[in-house]
Structure 1
Amino acid sequence: MFLALLVPAGQVLAQAVTAPPPVATVPQSIVDQERPVIDSLKKQTADFANTLNKAATNDEALVNLRISLEDTAKKLLGAGLAFRPRLAEINARLEQLGPAPAKDQPAEPEIVTDERNKLTTEKAQINAMIGETEDTSLTANQMIERIGEMRRNLFTRTLSQRVDINYALGSEVAGAAGAEAQTLGRVVSSWWRFVLFFKFKPFLAAAFLALCAALVLRFGARRFLGRFFLSRDVTVEAPSYLSRLSAAFWSTLIPTAAAAVFLGTTYYLLDYFNVLRPDIAAMLSSLFTVILIVYFIHRLAKAVLCADMPNWRLVRIASRPARVLTFLITATALINGLDYFLNTVNQILVSPLSLTVAKSLLATVLGGLLIIAIAWVKPFEDEETGAAKPWPKALRLFLICLGLFPIVAALLGYIGLARFASQQIVVNGAFLVTMYLGFLTARAITDEHAFGGTSIGRAMQQRFGTSEASLDQLGLVAGILINIAVLLVGIPLILLQLGFQWSELQTWFLRLLTGFQIGSFSISFTGIFTGLLLFVAGYFLTRWFQNWLDGSVMARGRVDSGVRNSIRTVIGYVGLALAALVGISAAGVNLSNLALIAGGLSLGIGFGLQNIVQNFVSGLILLVERPIKVGDWVEAGGVGGIVKKISVRATEVETFQRQSIIVPNSSLINANVANWTYRNKLGRVDIPVGAAYGSDPRKVHAALLEIGRSHPQVLKNPEPFVAFKAFGASSLDFELRVFLADISNGANVQNDLRFQIMEKFAAEGIEIPFPQTDIHLRMEHIEAIAEALADRNGEESDEKTKTVKVGTKTNVTGTRN
């Protein structure tokens, strides 16, 4: 057995002796780790520099290049910062090692010299790499600034470039237009044949799925929102302004969104199934954009002017001018849209410059004339005569100037400026009008009792019994949300029309959400929203835990109500404090920065917040030490009543007259407080009683003791006690003292005992006296009083003694000397 154990042990020992020693792994240095990253970023920067000149004429390519350069510059900065911890370690170690000894000093150990040399070499390598990252980052930032300058120059050239217009080339332009139409027909027909023979099923699937998505949005929105926003009841003679605004806003937004879903889904699916060629994809994207914008402007004009329903019209104009204005606005949008689409076609088909100029000139002139026609419409009617009235003079002049500007610019040869102005007038004008409707809707819905008058408000009131105050608060929240939604949708659309690229807006939006710097502070809306969400979640979790602990745990354990209130209050404050700390941390606020705020608060506490802090600390003492608790009967500072609530600043005491008195907590801690129910509700009631002189005091004592013992709420132990307290001025003073299990019933018991005392004394013939005084007057005084009375009443009196009642009961006796 022993040998069997020795054999494996010997084998293990032999393997340990013959096995080669483990190879020590040398950790990779920070220079070796970051070298591939920095080399890759340097190569990317060099590639961007080669691409920059090629993208000089394409604004979208310049924007994408700038975004890539900003990302590269950010990575370079991160790579440079990665060396800082190691560099700090090297500097600290070199400082510990000290400088190399001079020649006349003793030599240091070789291991110290080797370590210093290694650290110095590594430090030099790190500094060299930091220099490379800084040089590359500087190059990237210079290219970013150059891209911004190139974009500004490109935009300026587009607007300020002048084209010589030759009005004698009409026949040549007509021929070029015909040739281009034939070329466009051949391109589209060849693509269509390709679709029919090779991609017809994917084409039908894409169209069908896109149509289903649009129908789901359109009819789903009408199903759920139509009853509240989209329906216009012709029987309503005078709908409210909010109802008209809501109907106009949503009847524009929902159909346009459905159309956008249909067109966008169609384009995405056709591209996904490889149905589109590059040239067809560009033309189809432009065509879909034009269709969507024209449809949106038509719906907006129809919703605002509402030619068929005068009662729901936002602008009080006549019906016939409303139809004319709807047509003119739609036609203006259509002409500008065709110009945009044909410009895309000209770029794809490489059309002659004369054709492009002629097309843009015709479109801008027609668009300007339509705007001038809108200015000359007479939309209003005189209420008395019914005659047509024009727009206000200022508005009419403004519309005429808007229409003349692109016409004049185009005729002078500034085609780019004219096209840009026409596009902004039509498209951004429609966006601004829609945003204005959204703002008006938000302002109208926040008015008092406005939300309660809507269909949603009435439905909530009928179904959930929501109060008017709650509906007003919901209206305020709805107004804020509408304003935010209008800004989030409207501002990007306007910026896109002004020349900004979608990728650029995405970068700004992500930067706005993820964080941006203002001085030394970093602000992140995502962090702020996360912090608020966590705080709200912590708040509701605290409230739920309070209710569960109070109702399910302490109530079943028969815990005293005062203890329950103290525990509930402390948990509430602790939970809110933790939720606030978590929310502040999630919002990106460094808690160490709150030291300055704490210092300022301490300074303020030292001067002006002493009472508040004193009450706060006193409240914590009341909750922890519990000298008083909810439900106690206390008397302090001339205030007596039942404690209803203890908070950290003050305590609510309800008097027996149902008056709530707010007592600062410091008054309950620093002053004397009488607590009738501190340990228990056992208490003594004292009833003072007086008996007339001449009564048998033992009989009175026995009667009072019998009364005290006979009452059902008076305790037998301690038993009632009757004290013969004093010989009063008018009575023999006794006091009945009884003990009650619940002192809060003392008023009722005292009332019953007093009734029984009256009845018992009356039955026993014991008189309860009232104060009396005997006054003795001399005879001549009485005679003078009698003569005065006789003269007043016209009568003589021979009485020798007069009795006059003075005070409560005063006997006046006169004697003749």
Structure 2
Amino acid sequence: MSLASPWRTLFLSVVAVVIAAAAALAQQGGGALIEEQRSAIQKYSTRTDDLERQISVNDSNDGKLVEIRLELSEVARQLIASSVAFRPRLAEINARLEQLGPAPPDGQSEPDIVTAERQDMTAAKAEINAVLGLAESLSIRVNGLIEKIGDMRSALFRNVLTKRYSLSEAFAGELLDDVYKEYSNFYRSVSSWLKFVFQYKFESVLAAALFALGAAAVLVVGGRRIFGRIFEPDPAEEAPSYLERFSVAFWSTLLPTMALGVFLLSTLFFLNYFNVLRGDIGVYLSSLFMVVGIVFGVNRLANAALTPRLPNWRLVSIESRTALVLVGVFTAMAVVIGFNYFLAVVTDTMGSPLSLTIARSFAASTVVGALLILIGLLRDGGGAWRAWLRYTAVGLGGFIIAAALFGYIGLATFTSTQVVVTGTILITAYIGFLTSRAIGAEGGFAETSVGRWLARKSGTEATTLDQMGLAVSLAINLMILLIFLPLLLLMWGFQLGDIEAWAYSLSAGFSIGAFRFSPGGILTGVVVFTIGYFVTRWFQGWLDGVVMARGRLDMGVRNSIRTVVGYAGLALATLIAISSAGIDLSSFALVAGGLSLGIGFGLQNVVSNFVSGLILLAERPFKAGDWIVAGNVSGTVKKISVRATEIETFQRQSVILPNSELINSAVGNWTHRNKLGRIEIPVGVAYGSDVKKVHAMLLELARSHPLVLKNPEPFVLFAAFGASSLDFEVRVFLGDVTNSVIVQNDLRFAIIEKFEAEGIEIPFPQSVISVKSDKPLPPWPLDDDAAEAELMERPSAEAKPAGKARRRPRKPAPG
């Protein structure tokens, strides 16, 4: 003991030193993390103070408030990231404190190193909680500022709509002078820029226009080559279907408008890239391009929906004259609204007097109101121009004019703009939804040009076309939401920053209990799974059609490998998709426990079949294409899945057998390793026949058949002395046992023909009937029917097999 004690003391000392060193390192790392996050939170606090001051300065600038809100949202996200950074350290501290246990009660002692470590862990936890408290307080302050900005923007919007101006002051005598002065300033600004461009930047402008035209041409030409006739209606078609009319109206509005938008945006991009634009000209040009896009879109929609020159393609059943007038009126409204918007940008940029703003807004609003009233007063001979549409147009027009006359210029301008722009967006989106619904209906996609082309070129089945129609319908609906919803929000006073903030919030997700759902993450997971699914299908086809086909593998082996690869690929794609969606699988531990309990009871058969399917795919006692016999089922294996196996009988009936039955029961496989097999044909000849001759004839017939193998050679067996015949059995081997029915049929026909030619009889079962009775039989032949009846009523009769039955012929009745 005296020798062991120093070593024990030394060992405990080393362990204590190691534990202390580890604790010191952990404490040092935790301290660095705390200092780092405390410094970051202090920086965020300083940034929040600066943003709060900017809110007070820009309380009347809606665009600037949106920018401040975006920065505050970014600060809030950084605070959340700082809080999350402490989670691993807190989990480590809590786990260590649980290992150390609570402090001993009074009167009990513990090693000093344990006490010191517990104190250090507790102090570190308290310090982390203090930093988390700072982050939480700052987060509450940031969220309050975000709500304050929302309230301020709502108040600004209400002020714009409800503010009343004095028309008498706006239309005073100085108005014309102000108009002339601002026009002169605008003219000088634009003319000086144009002179500069033509002298120094003409090549750059030309290059920018060519690049923009190329980008738009790619979209238009490529779209026309891919989609063909969906851009324009076919004048030769007298009765286009409902789907064709809506599809042409939707795509002939959307795609050309998108092409023009690509051209205009590309032009701005390249002009900026070549340093052609200056500050004010860039603002003017961007607003002008927006006006051109809006007017073009409204005109395209009106022509597509009303088609004045093609009544068969018209979506609304009205007269051609009314349709032509409506197209002109809608286009005129878009021009007025667009021109007013452009002038608003010009006057705001140049700092024009308020009287000009009031005057131009009043003029634009009253013109739009008058055009709406004109729409309501239109009469259609067919009566399809519904009364409620006319009344709504007259009511909106009257409201706009009345608001403008009473001085509510902001309200009148806002309403007239929304009538034109929002109406165009909603009508286009509605047509798109109707188109997607028609495509997604049963048989709808097959009626489209693309569906007919697929059916004609690739022979796609109707079921597959319906599934493709559902996918196309969902894609169109998603595209409509992604395109038109942001446009609507922008038209209703929201800023791009608002949409960006909502997108951030949507991608961050929301929590329900312990689960956190992120729509953006879920969409990412769906996209990843879809990509993984198609990659798996492509890899299956490549592996089967290129690699294994060149290796000349058996079809059953190829099917097994293809099936296993498919399930493995889908499982991998599912796991990657779940990970991409940000779903924590540990949150489903309780669900997994319940599922395990369910498997133990209700799902045990499903699991048994699943495991049996894996065994069948790995062990391969039979494969696709084999001829098997399982119980009362005999047929060809068509498909082996992980739950069941599909067998097609020779009557073309598909039988689905659970895999567990094929594992637990005997299964006969005629084509397990090869298709070599033997068949037997029994045949009997009458007693007294020349058996050697019969044997030779049967052997000759078996050898002469072309499907019978020479090695192993055919064999004829003299099987038995039967009750009515001498029994033989013809045994032959076939290279392909699936031809057994054909060979048996041919040999039986040949045997009958040969036996008939040689006079050999094939007998049938026969019996001799003996009658026993105590009474003497009546004389033969029977004299009358009464005697014959008496004979038939004798009770004792016995039958025994004895060759052919013999009966004395009945004497014919005299005369």
TM range (shorter): 0.7 to 0.9
Q: Structure 2 residue aligned with 1:533, among 526, 531, 534?
A: 531
State the shift of 1:155 in Å: 1.9
Q: For residues 706 and 267 of structure 1, do their structure 2 counterparts lie closer, same or farther at Cα, with a shift above 3 Å needed?
A: closer
State the shift of 1:492 in Å: 0.9
State the shift of 1:184 in Å: 1.7
Q: Is the 8 A contact 2:678 2:737 kept in 1?
A: yes
Instruction: Tell me the alpha carbon deviations over residues 603-653 of structure 1, each in whole angstroms, 9 at most, x when there is no partner.
Output: 444554444433333333333333334444333322333334333333333
Q: Is the 8 A contact 1:651 1:665 kept in 2?
A: yes
State the shift of 1:393 in Å: 1.9
CA distance in 1, matches of 2:535, 2:401: 59
Q: Is the 8 A contact 1:774 1:812 kept in 2?
A: no
SS of the residue corresponding to residue 812 of structure 1 reads coil
Q: For residues 815 and 649 of structure 1, do their structure 2 counterparts lie closer, same or farther at Cα, with a shift above 3 Å needed?
A: same
Residue 808 of structure 2 corresponds to: 813
Structure 2 residue 152 is matched with structure 1 residue 154: no
CA distance in 2, matches of 1:334, 1:543: 56
SS of the residue corresponding to residue 589 of structure 1 reads coil
Q: Structure 2 residue aligned with 1:646, among 610, 632, 640?
A: 640
State the shift of 1:496 in Å: 0.6
Residue 494 of structure 2 corresponds to: 500
Instruction: Tell me the alpha carbon deviations over residues 291-321 of structure 1, each in whole angstroms, 9 at most, x when there is no partner.
Output: 3323322332233333344444333333333
CA distance in 1, matches of 2:97, 2:466: 69
Q: Structure 1 residue aligned with 2:129, among 127, 130, 134?
A: 127
Q: Is the 8 A contact 1:779 1:815 kept in 2?
A: no
State the shift of 1:399 in Å: 1.5
Q: TM-score, normalised by structure 1?
A: 0.81
Q: For residues 251 and 617 of structure 1, do their structure 2 counterparts lie closer, same or farther at Cα, with a shift above 3 Å needed?
A: closer
Q: Structure 2 residue aligned with 1:722, among 704, 707, 717?
A: 717
Moved more, 227-236 or 179-188: 227-236
State the shift of 1:538 in Å: 2.7
Residue 319 of structure 2 corresponds to: 318
CA distance in 1, matches of 2:455, 2:239: 23
Residue 804 of structure 1 corresponds to: none
CA distance in 2, matches of 1:129, 1:100: 26
CA distance in 1, matches of 2:398, 2:285: 32
CA distance in 2, matches of 1:321, 1:124: 78
Q: Structure 2 residue aligned with 1:731, among 725, 732, 736?
A: 725
CA distance in 2, matches of 1:483, 1:568: 35
Instruction: Tell me the alpha carbon deviations over residues 164-211 of structure 1, each in whole angstroms, 9 at most, x when there is no partner.
Output: x354x4xx7243322322332343244245425655456545643453
Structure 2 residue 393 is matched with structure 1 residue 399: yes
Structure 2 residue 37 is matched with structure 1 residue 34: yes
Residue 84 of structure 1 corresponds to: 87
Q: For residues 176 and 786 of structure 1, do their structure 2 counterparts lie closer, same or farther at Cα, with a shift above 3 Å needed?
A: farther
Residue 20 of structure 1 corresponds to: none
Q: Is the 8 A contact 1:682 1:740 kept in 2?
A: yes
CA distance in 1, matches of 2:581, 2:809: 97
Q: Is the 8 A contact 1:514 1:526 kept in 2?
A: no
State the shift of 1:38 in Å: 2.1
State the shift of 1:270 in Å: 4.8
Q: For residues 82 and 45 of structure 1, do their structure 2 counterparts lie closer, same or farther at Cα, with a shift above 3 Å needed?
A: same
Structural mapping, 1:416-565, within 5 Å: 416-446=410-440, 455-456=449-450, 473-512=467-506, 515=509, 517=511, 520-523=515-518, 524=521, 525-553=523-551, 555=552, 560-565=554-559
Structure 2 residue 375 is matched with structure 1 residue 374: yes
Residue 582 of structure 2 corresponds to: 588
SS of the residue corresponding to residue 50 of structure 2 reads helix
State the shift of 1:331 in Å: 2.5
The code of the aligned residue for 1:252 comes to T
Residue 334 of structure 1 corresponds to: 335
State the shift of 1:596 in Å: 4.5
Moved more, 443-452 or 45-54: 443-452
SS of the residue corresponding to residue 57 of structure 1 reads coil
State the shift of 1:461 in Å: 5.8
Structure 2 residue 222 is matched with structure 1 residue 228: no
CA distance in 1, matches of 2:557, 2:414: 74
SS of the residue corresponding to residue 53 of structure 1 reads helix
Q: For residues 788 and 610 of structure 1, do their structure 2 counterparts lie closer, same or farther at Cα, with a shift above 3 Å needed?
A: farther
State the shift of 1:475 in Å: 4.5
Residue 15 of structure 2 corresponds to: none
Structure 2 residue 283 is matched with structure 1 residue 289: no
State the shift of 1:673 in Å: 3.2
Instruction: Tell me the alpha carbon deviations over residues 531-550 of structure 1, each in whole angstroms, 9 at most, x when there is no partner.
Output: 32123223322342244443
Residue 655 of structure 2 corresponds to: 661
The code of the aligned residue for 1:322 comes to A
State the shift of 1:757 in Å: 4.9
CA distance in 2, matches of 1:174, 1:731: 132
Q: For residues 642 and 489 of structure 1, do their structure 2 counterparts lie closer, same or farther at Cα, with a shift above 3 Å needed?
A: closer
Unaligned runs of 5+ residues in structure 2 are 1-23, 790-802
State the shift of 1:62 in Å: 1.5
Unaligned runs of 5+ residues in structure 1 are 1-23, 383-388, 792-807
The code of the aligned residue for 2:517 comes to S
The code of the aligned residue for 1:522 comes to F
State the shift of 1:395 in Å: 1.9
Moved more, 780-789 or 436-445: 780-789
The code of the aligned residue for 1:319 comes to S
Moved more, 665-674 or 397-406: 665-674
Residue 52 of structure 2 corresponds to: 49
The code of the aligned residue for 2:250 comes to F
State the shift of 1:240 in Å: 4.4
State the shift of 1:424 in Å: 1.2
CA distance in 2, matches of 1:448, 1:694: 74
Residue 179 of structure 1 corresponds to: 177
CA distance in 2, matches of 1:310, 1:566: 59
CA distance in 2, matches of 1:589, 1:105: 47
Q: For residues 147 and 465 of structure 1, do their structure 2 counterparts lie closer, same or farther at Cα, with a shift above 3 Å needed?
A: same
CA distance in 1, matches of 2:377, 2:498: 41
Q: TM-score, normalised by structure 2?
A: 0.81
The code of the aligned residue for 2:330 comes to I
State the shift of 1:47 in Å: 0.7
Q: For residues 390 and 479 of structure 1, do their structure 2 counterparts lie closer, same or farther at Cα, with a shift above 3 Å needed?
A: closer
Query: What number of residue pairs does the alignment pair up?
Result: 762
Q: For residues 88 and 629 of structure 1, do their structure 2 counterparts lie closer, same or farther at Cα, with a shift above 3 Å needed?
A: closer
Structural mapping, 1:584-733, within 5 Å: 584-678=578-672, 681=675, 683-694=677-688, 713=708, 720=715, 722-728=717-723, 730-733=724-727
Instruction: Tell me the alpha carbon deviations over residues 340-386 of structure 1, each in whole angstroms, 9 at most, x when there is no partner.
Output: 334444444545545544443343233222211110011x235xxxx
Q: Is the 8 A contact 2:525 2:578 kept in 1?
A: no
Instruction: Tell me the alpha carbon deviations over residues 411-433 of structure 1, each in whole angstroms, 9 at most, x when there is no partner.
Output: 34433222222221111011111
Q: Is the 8 A contact 2:687 2:726 kept in 1?
A: yes
CA distance in 2, matches of 1:596, 1:116: 33
Moved more, 732-741 or 42-51: 732-741
Q: For residues 657 and 394 of structure 1, do their structure 2 counterparts lie closer, same or farther at Cα, with a shift above 3 Å needed?
A: closer
Structural mapping, 1:407-422, within 5 Å: 407-422=401-416
The code of the aligned residue for 1:336 comes to I
Structure 2 residue 61 is matched with structure 1 residue 72: no
The code of the aligned residue for 1:31 comes to I
User: What do you get for the CA RMSD once the two structures are aligned?
Assistant: 4.2
Q: Is the 8 A contact 2:340 2:361 kept in 1?
A: yes
Q: For residues 656 and 129 of structure 1, do their structure 2 counterparts lie closer, same or farther at Cα, with a shift above 3 Å needed?
A: closer
SS of the residue corresponding to residue 29 of structure 1 reads helix
Q: Is the 8 A contact 1:676 1:683 kept in 2?
A: yes
Q: For residues 59 and 789 of structure 1, do their structure 2 counterparts lie closer, same or farther at Cα, with a shift above 3 Å needed?
A: farther
The code of the aligned residue for 2:55 comes to L
The code of the aligned residue for 2:173 comes to G
Moved more, 140-149 or 706-715: 706-715
CA distance in 2, matches of 1:634, 1:103: 80
